Amino acid sequence: TYEADGLLAICIQHEMDHLMGKVFVEYLSPLKRNRIKTKLLKQKKDEEREAAH
């Protein structure tokens, strides 16, 4: 067992999440996750449109 706080605790948790196969979006609410997804899809669409010109 190891105790940490602050930035070190965040870094350790981040690495443990990687080892457990967990990504940060799993910590987000469904609403926030959908907002991000919508924004990324729009960005992709805009980039594809720009590349076509």
CB 4 within 8 A of CB 12: yes
Is 15 designated active site?
yes
Q: Which two tokens stand for residue 32?
A: 């926030």
- The sign of the dihedral angle between the CA atoms of 2, 17, 38, 51 is positive
3, 15, 26, 48: which one is catalytic?
A: 15
Active site members: 15
